[in-house]
Chains A and B, each alone.
Chain A
Amino acid sequence: MATQHSRSAARLMMAPAVILLLGWMLVPLIMTLWFSFRKYLPLRGGDQGWVGLENYARFISSSSFWPAVQTTLIIVGGVLIITVAFGIVLALLLDQPMWGQGVVRILVIAPFFVMPTVSALVWKNMFMDPVNGILAHLWKFFGAEPVQWLSQESLQSIVMIVSWQWLPFATLILLTAVQSLDSEQLEAAEMDGAPFLKRFWFIILPHLSRAITIVILIQTIFLLSIFAEIFVTTGGAFGTRTLTYLIFQRVLESQNVGLGSAGGVYAIILANIVALFLMRIVGKNLDT
């Protein structure tokens, strides 16, 4: 439904966005690929030539690789489980009739708008500090020994901080989905005498399945690359070095660009696998 004029105008007007994003994607990607096949140490001799797949092999066989993968999976998995589970509960709760619904909603959503460095810092010092943190006070109040959160329970602590940040996102999206649930369907089930658990399992959960999938996919993409939370709290120490952080350290801290780039290629492949699933869902939605 358009003319030659508008079609050529459309191409012209789409060009800046397309060209910019193409450049943004291709140029660094090709450079990363290029570096990943070279021994490149900017501070110790610079580019020392082609080394084939050596960087890839070294990155995988290094003693920090598998722990980093494990850490990444624990953080991503832990945060996903916590945010989705609590997100569903909160969404159902917020959908109930109550006084001050708008205010509660705002309270629940607030953490999403806190910049990651602030939330990491606040949690690290004011809550998880083993002497002066609120949690230490709370433990002492119940007569328990305060926990050395970020050194002894480091991974759990990070999962907790990140979950706090992402719970609002999961809740908000699931709440949107809950609200689109046809209430007549629920009422019919109630009339049929289905108890709450059955209604939840057979009607609510299937209705939410799409939203849950989307929450999982989008969060996974963001969680795979969390950075500031670790940068500010542990700096990658105490077993909190994720894949992203490991690559960051290889590239900027030890200035081994070749090795870091090989790691980067792994990260890109990993993210693309997740992205593929997300694209499928979004793409399907585009048709309607």
Chain B
Amino acid sequence: MARAVTTQRKALNTAIAWAIGLLIFFPILWTILTSFKTEAQAIADPPVFLFFDWTLENYAVVQERSNYMRFLWNSVFIAGGSTILGIIIAVPAAWSMAFVPSKRTKDILLWMLSTKMLPAVGVLYPIYLIFIKLGILDSRLGLTVVLMLINLPIIVWMLYTYFKEIPGEILEAARMDGASLRNEILYVLTPMAIPGIASTLLLNFILAWNEAFWTLNLTAAQAAPLTAFIASYSSPEGLFFAKLSAASTMAIAPILILGWFSQKQLVRGLTFGAVK
């Protein structure tokens, strides 16, 4: 809205909005700050906000005690692997739906979304059983496949909406220019859809990174990602505020940064294009 507003009005807006924004952000900010305190300062009464002796000690302790790097690697492997695998399977499917639509395309798309609505707990035991039978319980591979499957509908959907925006004539031109289907997708469609593919990658990486039902229930020691790493701090003996904060900061920092880049695509991805 390009409307003239008075400076006072704008200042008021700014003050209210910043106050609310900081209030909402405060738990995260507080966690980050606390991670740099000593344990004593972390539970000081009254609480100290900024004026304390900053220390990195907690990060060292957390890494030493719980082998943070292994959990981090598991998270990266599982979230990254499931997203890339999902994209590889989804690109051809989205191509088909966007450029060779048939009467059933809409039904297939909706059906795919409906699988996303299946409550995980309803199929927990069968999946658990299958994982035991296949010997992939507590394995990165197993978890990667599951997360790929739960995010596949969103990936197909997002790519479909991005592909729809590419004019079909350009793909026809590629076909006339002698490109095989593989080359058409590889050299023409994919480069043109790079922004869309990138945001799809980003959003689904975040969703997989934060997924906390299957990662908690299908892993134990070997394949546990950061969600489980943090959950292990909920037991009373792990209750040290500063270290808890350091562990939390390490678990959310990478994704917070990625998340800020993907905020625009978030709406499209999570509402299946119903809100633009």
Judged by CB atoms under 8 Å, the answer to whether A and B touch is yes
Give residues in A with beta carbon < 8 Å to B. Answer: 1-2, 6-7, 9-11, 13-14, 16-18, 20-21, 24-25, 27-29, 31-32, 35, 90, 93-101, 103-127, 132, 134, 137, 141, 164, 167-169, 172-173, 176-177, 180, 183, 186-187, 210-211, 214, 218, 221, 224-225, 227-228, 231-233, 244, 247-248, 251-252, 257, 260-261, 264-265, 267-268, 270-272, 274-275, 278-279, 281-283, 285-287
Report if B129 contacts A (CB, 8 A): yes
In the assembled complex, the Cα of A264 lies from the Cα of B127 at a distance in Å of 13
Q: A232-B231, A274-B117 are in contact. List 7 more A-B contacts (CB 8 A).
A: A6-B100, A24-B115, A97-B1, A101-B17, A110-B259, A248-B217, A279-B114
Judge whether A107 and B24 touch: CB under 8 Å. Answer: yes
Q: Across the interface, do B21 and A115 meet the contact criterion of CB distance under 8 Å?
A: no
The answer to the question of B124 belonging to the interface, with a C-beta cut-off of 8 Å to chain A, is: yes
Q: Which residues of B contact A227 (CB under 8 A)?
A: 120-121, 212-213, 216
Main secondary structure of the interface of B (DSSP, over half): helix
A10, B259: Cβ atoms under 8 Å?
Answer: no
26 contacts between A and B (CB under 8 A): A2-B100, A7-B102, A9-B181, A17-B92, A28-B126, A93-B17, A96-B17, A97-B1, A97-B5, A106-B263, A112-B266, A114-B252, A115-B227, A121-B234, A126-B244, A173-B271, A176-B267, A214-B275, A228-B212, A248-B121, A252-B124, A270-B119, A275-B117, A278-B117, A279-B110, A286-B109
Selecting from B42-50, B54-62, B135-143, B192-200, the interface stretch reads B42-50
Which residues in A have their C-beta under 8 angstroms from that of B209?
A: 115
Do B25 and A110 have beta carbons less than 8 Å apart?
yes
Are B46 and A183 interface neighbours, CB within 8 A? no
Partner among B93, B95, B149, B228 whose Cβ is within 8 Å of the Cβ of A24: B149
* Chain A residues with CB below 8 A from B66, complex form: none
Assess A117 versus B263: contact at CB under 8 Å? Given A132-B43, A227-B213, A244-B121: no
